[in-house]
Chain A
Amino acid sequence: MIFVDHERCIGCYACIVACKMEHDLAPYPTSPPTAEPKGPRLIRVFQVGPEIKDGKVYQYFVAISCMHCTDPQCMSACPVKAISKRVDGIMQVDRDRCIGCKFCLWACPYGAPQFDLDGKMMLCDLCFHRLQEGKKTACETHCPARCIYVGAPDEISKIMGQRAASRIEKPRESSLVA
């Protein structure tokens, strides 16, 4: 699974571009340049806030890609069975079968399905070509904030638990007791 730590994400968008580069995605340079170039984003970054409540700032960023759900709604929704799940759990799309109806986008709770210039669906493939070589995904490799983890749920659970444990001693908020 892919886990993005919203407490660390700085909204720098490196993951989006790393993914574009890794998969050679649109948009491509044109002459003259395009004002509103668009292409599929297999990972997307969202800003929440800022909101100021009682003098405290609430703001965070988080990146969301395909969650590679165990029970994928996109798969059930697809009328032509273009979407399937690999043995290793990674979602994949048969672009020859895909009819570009976008119904999977209706069904996905995360808005993950992306559509290439030909209108056919594309999904995060968890960079399995990199995982196979023992490398990390393009997004995890490049994230300057080190907030992306790709691993099994128990690994993520351990990381989060560790972090919570270390917080018992050291409060997050700075408040000086004079």
Chain B
Amino acid sequence: MVHQMSFGKRVVKTTCKSCHGGCRVIVAVENGKITHIEGDPESLTDGTMCAKGLASILEVYNPNRILYPIKRVGERGEGKWKRISWEEALDLVAQKIKEAIENYGPSSVAIGQGTGRGYNRYTFRFARSVGTPNLFLPAHFCYGPRLATFGITVGGRLYCDYHGWGGEYPKTIIHWGKQLEITNADGEMAVWFLKALEKAEYFILVDPRATRLAARALWLPVRPGTDAALALGMMNVIINEGLFDVDFVENWTYGFERLKERVQEYPPDKVAEITWVPEEKILEAARVFATHKPGCIQIGECLEAGNNSTQTLRAIICLMAITGNIERPGSMINWVPPDTGPMEDFALEVPAPKELPIGADKFRLLARPPFAMCHVETMLEGIRSGKGPVKVMHIQGSNPLVCYANSKAVLEALLKLEFLSVADLYMSPTAEYADVVLPVAHWLETDDIYDMHPRFFVSAIQKVVEPPGEAWPDNKIYNELGKRLAPQWWFNNVEEMLNYQLRKAGITWEQFKSIGVLAKTGKDQVYYKYKTDYWKKGGGFDTPTRKVELYSTIMEELGYDPLPYFKEPNESPYTTPELYKEYPLILSTGGRLPYYFHSQYRQNPWLRELQPYPIVQIHPETAKKLGIKDGDWVWIETPRGRIKQKAMLFAGMDPRIVVAQASWYYPEKPGPDHGVWDSNANILTSNELPFDPAMGSTTFRALLCKVYPVKDGE
């Protein structure tokens, strides 16, 4: 909606995509310039906004924005560029993709994207339309395991019901490796959770650190990488003490007796030893969750970034199931989508390519339709060795040099590509090594339908101002590239494409702009859908057995353990005691922050001011032993390399753990590297340590390291 307020002044309602969230906002424009941004009080998020959204104005007017398509004229990384037209740029990218497909086959093309910003469906559609199975996403260690394990266990994604639309709010909320209050990631919003928290009776926080809400929680200080044991231990207590939901288990789950047998291997005293969580807390948490219902569990990405991601999530979903916390109001819900239907259909309607993605033979759950994705580390190794299929890569909004394990190895792979094109707002360290860089428009400069995760709403992102230079929105770039390569799947223009996506709701893009949000809330949401024909005629869940599969028939079919289990992290005091002697601290990389999102926003001064340098949290006792004071620069070292971060003394965790921040580079430092080798946690991580066998997840959150002060001059 656009209101004409007075001459030169306009107000536009749109949707923020500074993170995954999708808060509705009102933007004021005066004489063509954005003067103000504010939360829309009528929005689903009550007119609130976060630091990142509020700082968006500075993204539009940031002089470091890429303005024009550019083509490399020097060596890769030399920083010598020539401005080219969009026509030339798109023709070149399309030509390289086409040639690669003709010369080497469709699998020689990798299409990459980073964290979702609501254009995931375009990325998937583009890859499918071009015919390549090799989608280059961080999904195998971020959200992908949730997608897969919810899918095979329950038939669809489950979200926490913080809304009370079914007449009940959660009595017990568990946040498991999650800081939703500051991240708003993966389909849930801090505002909803914080409101529900006021109404909850119990809040359980499972996290190695006492994060922001720890003082209000029953805090389980779990050892990084041992969450599966904790979940299995909780189930041991719940099942053995007869606290499980008998009705739901008997009528709606499959494999209970076998799960019961499995959890006998995880008595609470053994689990306490493994997880470092005191036994009485395990007992309390288990009993509370089982008896104070409804309950919900918010799962965080850190559970997916390890060598046992699949079984960890499987265990937690089983915990939801045996307590009957699925589809009842206030528990875990699969949302009924808005009238548009799931926006992912826009991707799925293009048939999947015949060839399987790289890594499909090993990581069979990752390769399972409908969201089959390639195993990135295997793909990159194939590029480095020359033995893999990928020769050409297009990246739309991702910074692999910063965000994937072992940055050195990532760079080696990128340099070996025959062609690399990158679309971004800024010259990230990855963009600096590209052959062609395409300038992307900010959400304040974009028209699109915002759908970050299939949940109960979609909302209109309405362009507020023209992008600087010749920057184009992601959807336009995809459409124009798509038209050159697979015109039968793409559209004359973006508006046509948007109209097409809205057709099931019976509205056009113009109409949607005025409507703003299409949501199914309140009485439009349906609970206990498994008792209706919603998924299966005659009732049931969308699984092979029509039940919630505690014993997963699909895992069995794929050749994996159908029941969850615990496995020690690759590097730990127990699995690698020799390594532990030299690297005596447990390292987690990637604790989240409210003012950054992965590698984004280091060049936004309102946000950078809040924390200009990366921080590593060290327990005061540990720091004292190492001669480290609060604020000292320290080296963090693993067998892969070392980085510098600033020490923050933090008493809220076990002294044997340190938590470094992830995704740091310094845009103010000269290109091409922009300080990516200084403080980036992926100098420390490994692309070779064993991956999760089903999803191929990489280990970011449970490694071993040593820490020591930075000496003068270093």
Contacts and interface: CB of A to CB of B under 8 A. Distances in A.
A59 B194 contact: no
Given A11-B212, A32-B64, A145-B181, A37 B288 contact: no
B39 A38 contact: no
B668 A29 contact: no
Given A34-B668, A144-B48, A29 B219 contact: no
Interface in B182-227: 182, 190-191, 194-195, 201-204, 210, 212-219
Interface stretch (B115-123, B546-554, B600-608): B600-608
A13 B605 contact: no
A148 B666 CA distance: 34
A37 B49 contact: no
Contact of B608 (A14, A16, A37): A37
Contacts of A51: 651-652
Given A13-B610, A142-B54, A30 B605 contact: yes
Contacts of B194: 8, 10, 144-146
B249 interface: no
A104 B666 CA distance: 36
Interface stretch (A20-28, A74-82, A87-95, A113-121): A20-28
A12 interface: yes
Given A33-B668, A141-B38, A170-B201, A12 B50 contact: yes
Report, as a range, how many residues of chain A touch the other chain.
35 or more
Report, as a range, how many residues of chain B touch the other chain.
35 or more
Nearest to A38: B609
A102 B638 CA distance: 46
Interface in B39-70: 39, 41, 45, 47-51, 54-55, 57-58, 61-64
B36 interface: yes
A176 B287 contact: yes
Contacts of B219: 57
Contacts of A143: 48
Contact of A21 (B55, B210, B595): B55
Given A14-B54, A33-B605, A51-B651, 20 more contacts: A8-B194, A10-B181, A17-B606, A18-B54, A22-B36, A24-B35, A28-B58, A29-B63, A29-B64, A33-B603, A36-B612, A49-B210, A50-B214, A50-B652, A141-B41, A142-B39, A143-B48, A145-B190, A175-B284, A176-B291
Interface of A: 7-8, 10-14, 16-18, 20-22, 24, 26-39, 49-52, 55-61, 138, 141-146, 170, 172, 174-176, 178
19 contacts: A14-B594, A21-B37, A21-B57, A24-B35, A32-B64, A33-B667, A34-B608, A34-B668, A56-B215, A57-B217, A57-B219, A59-B212, A141-B38, A142-B49, A144-B48, A145-B190, A145-B194, A174-B204, A176-B288
